[in-house]
Amino acid sequence: MSSGSEGYPYSQEERVAIAAVTRACTLTSSVFETLVKNETLTKGDKSPVTVGDFAAQAVISAIIHAAFPHDPIVGEEDASDLRVESGRSMKDRIVALANDALTTPLVAGEDPAWNLGPGTTRTDEQILEAIDRGNYGGGNTGRMWTIDPIDGTKGFLRGEQYAVCVSFVVDSQVKVGVIGCPNLPVDPSEPSKGLGAIFSAVRGHGARQLSISNPTQGSIALRIPQISESEDLSFLESVEAAHSSHSFNDRVAALLNVQKPPTRMDSQAKYACLARGQGGAYLRMPTGVGYKEKIWDHAPGEVLVVEAGGIVTDSRGEPLNFGLGRTLGENYGVIAAAKSIHPKILAAVQKVQNDAKAKV
Ligand SMILES: Nc1ncnc2c1ncn2[C@@H]1O[C@H](COP(=O)(O)O)[C@@H](OP(=O)(O)O)[C@H]1O
Ligand SMILES: [Mg+2]
Ligand SMILES: [Mg+2]
Ligand SMILES: [Mg+2]
């Protein structure tokens, strides 16, 4: 299958990623409706989320593999826990969910060659293999994909934000990023328009928001407003204090005289919101526990924000390096913002870091 058959490079990879994310979003929404909401959440039983993660990774991986059989995949999940006897009931559920998602009839934008639709049921082993195909270790040469089947698991469990995230990378540069956000308002200024959106970007070809129910039916181009006054920012940050330092952000906000409180949200929905003009900046500074950021947590978001007119760097001002393996390497944090304001935020972040060092 040739790249760029629709007039721009990697349009075919984008089409595959959008189809995979769309099918996986239907799956994760239904897992939440049928299991998590029905008391499983309040019982503290985390299995439905695990089931949703595994099944969504199986679906995405199967579609990518059918379209591009030689491409390696870096996926968050692996199937080893499902191959032992204690994982059998969970495996049965995952296989059923994944097959449900893969065998629904083809819709616009999908290709019969991707082995989807009625009659394409996979065996248990094929579903486990699809999950395990995400075991690639990454690297800085050649083509590869990343999958985060449910990003923001904690948000998913709370019924808040989460994202289904796929990226396509060539020689460590993210070329395509697709982020599905089933719980995100279609239009933040008009809640009556409902929930659920897909975001897609292709390097050099812009970023757009698509309808989650019909991603081929038109799109909205995304541009980040190029604000210059830091007073107008509202930092996007994780809900979970363990994932990034809230107090560090507070100090940066104080230094920049930011007036609005931070906007807390799980998952790469933060990158998507930034790309459509919400917040103005996403700050994710390490909490100091030695955690290394995973490439699947940032690759789709990076290309989305850059294509919408933003910059994504670490706290040294360096671009994120997607060619080091499954992680981004040593954790210098992430600063994503409009081009116009990024240098100011970076300088403030570095000042807060230096002040903290001077105190030690
Ligand atoms: N100590 C830590 N520091 C930073 N990120 C962490 C972390 N522990 C887990 N994460 C990552 O944070 C992601 C969620 O980010 P956010 O806080 O923006 O919602 C998780 O993705 P998953 O939910 O896919 O596992 C996980 O990869
Ligand atoms: Mg994640
Ligand atoms: Mg995940
Ligand atoms: Mg996880």
Calculate how far, in angstroms, residue 355's C-alpha sits from the geometric centre of ligand 3: 34
Cβ 71 under 6 angstroms from ligand 1: no
HSE toward the beta carbon, residue 265, CA cutoff 13 A = 26
What is the value of ipTM here, to two decimals?
0.99
CB 25 within 8 A of CB 213: no
Q: DSSP of 266-314, one letter per residue?
A: -TTHHHHHHHTTSSEEEEE---SS-PPPBGGGTHHHHHHHHHTTEEEE-
Chain segment 87-120, per-residue pLDDT in tens? 888 899 999 999 999 999 999 999 999 999 999 9
Chain segment 14-58, per-residue pLDDT in tens? 999 999 999 999 999 999 888 644 323 332 333 334 689 999 999
Q: Who's near 42: CB < 8 A, 6+ residues apart?
A: none
Q: Can you tell me which atom of ligand 1 is nearest the CA of 156?
A: 23
In the predicted model, what is the mean pLDDT of residues 224-233? 94
Calculate how far, in angstroms, residue 153's C-alpha sits from the geometric centre of ligand 4: 6
Taken in order 176, 180, 181, 186, is the CA torsion positive or negative?
positive
pTM above 0.80, yes or no: yes
Locate the domains of the chain by residue range: 230-359
Give, using CA atoms, the residue closest to atom 23 of ligand 1: 152
> Which CATH number describes the domain made up of 230-359?
3.40.190.80
Give, using CA atoms, the residue closest to atom 8 of ligand 1: 243
Cβ 314 under 6 angstroms from ligand 1: no
- Three-state SS sequence of 204-220: CCCEEEEECCCCCCCEE
- Residues, Cβ < 5 Å to ion ligand 2: 148, 151, 297
pLDDT at 124: 98
In the chain, % of residues over pLDDT 70: 94
Cβ 152 under 6 angstroms from ligand 1: yes
Cβ 302 under 6 angstroms from ligand 1: no
pLDDT confidence band for 5 (50 / 70 / 90): low
171 is known to lie in a ligand binding site: no
Cβ 241 under 6 angstroms from ligand 1: no
pLDDT at 81: 84
* Amino acid (one-letter) located at 62: A
Calculate how far, in angstroms, residue 272's C-alpha sits from the geometric centre of ligand 2: 14
Give, using CA atoms, the residue closest to atom 3 of ligand 1: 243
Mutational pocket test of ligand 1: of 148, 297, 302, the residue with most ligand atoms within 8 Å of the beta carbon: 297
pLDDT at 12: 97
Chain segment 136-188, per-residue pLDDT in tens? 999 999 999 999 999 998 899 889 999 999 999 999 999 999 999 999 999 99
pLDDT at 89: 84
Q: Report angle CA 240, 244, 250 to the nearest 5 degrees.
A: 100
